[in-house]
Amino acid sequence: MTCREFVEFLWCYIDNDLSPVERATFDEHLAKCPDCVKYLQQYQATTRIGKAVEVSSSEPIPSDVPEDLVQAILKSRIKVA
């Protein structure tokens, strides 16, 4: 397995959507590739942060936050999605 293949199927790896043989291949690659280990750790940290932001975004916006800032954030979120 190459690093590119690892990245292409990373989501399946994280979601446990791989066969036992495919999973073993990924694990074998991770055992030999510190760059992919770091990439996996960063990916997992990013998704944790994203989920935390998503959860906290349902909280009310403090009244001292300027409306133009709120609108700018909402506009940028639409562009990303």
Cα–Cα dist 15/45, whole Å: 15
The domain ranges of the chain are 3-80
User: Average pLDDT, whole number, for the chain?
Assistant: 82
- pLDDT surpasses 80 at 71: no
pLDDT band for 81, please (50, 70, 90 cuts): very low
Closest CA to 29 of 50, 10, 52, 55: 10
On the question of pLDDT at 79 being above 90, the answer is no
Least confident stretch, 16-20, 34-38, 58-62, 66-70: 58-62
Q: Which of 71, 77, 1, 80 is nearest to 36 (CA)?
A: 1
Residue 65 has pLDDT above 70, yes or no: yes
CA dihedral 16, 37, 81, 61 (to 10 degrees): 100
What angle do the packed helices 34-56 and 20-32 form, to 10 degrees?
110
